[in-house]
Amino acid sequence: MKPSGIDSHSPHIYGWGTKLVKPTPLGGIVSTIYTLTIEPMTKESFAPFGELWNPDERPSERRIISRTDFEVDGQTTVGVIWQPYETLSFNELERHFGVSQSFVQLSGPPSIVCAAPATDSDDPFDVPNPSDVRAFLIDSNSGWCFKRGVWHSLNRHVLAPPGATYIIINSKPNPTQVVNYETSTGYLSRDLGGDKTPRTLDYKGRFGGVFQISL
């Protein structure tokens, strides 16, 4: 079932007036396509993976501050991401061991993020089955925070050109694991982007496919 607001018979999304371009898999021909159906990102649907940053109440007579479950080891970093409109296919998931990585969309059309439940943090070969991955239509009125160790897509998948901007709240260092489902390989990094000798991982051909978000 498609979430409210996406009409497969219409060339427009949420009033942005942009025709959809049918996405293509990465790298040409692959043996398996893991199809993901979009679902709304709600407090309840996203609970296994993290939390939405939204006030619990909105009184008219006073300001309130709602606490979040953000956690970090080391230094907290804040950056701005520009995510261009690209394919709705992807082949990698990542998880972060030292931070409950968080995002707030600042601008742009609706977008999607994909997630899978946390697995054993002490076992780099305990990775999600493709059937465990879910695709969420981001609530642009809320920020969101992944629980520590939850697997997620590296990008946010923007549904119309030109792209979208996001705040990212991260950690330094940022110990991370990445798994590539197309090549059945991966790596463990002590600090993503800064570790020059990450540990390589071989999943012995367990997968061999790419994920395709279905509109």
Which segment of 19-28, 91-100, 182-191 scores lowest on mean pLDDT? 19-28
For residue 82, which phi and psi values (nearest 5 degrees)? Answer: -105, 120
- Tens digits of per-residue pLDDT, 106-153? 999 999 999 999 999 999 999 999 999 999 999 888 899 999 999 999
Domains of the chain: 35-52+69-214 (2.60.120.480)
Grade residue 18 by pLDDT with cuts at 50, 70 and 90: very low
Token digits for 103? 């995002």
The CA distance from 169 to 52, in Å, is 14
- Tens digits of per-residue pLDDT, 148-195? 999 999 999 999 999 999 999 999 999 999 999 999 999 999 999 899
The model carries a pTM of 0.85
Determine the pLDDT at residue 26: 55
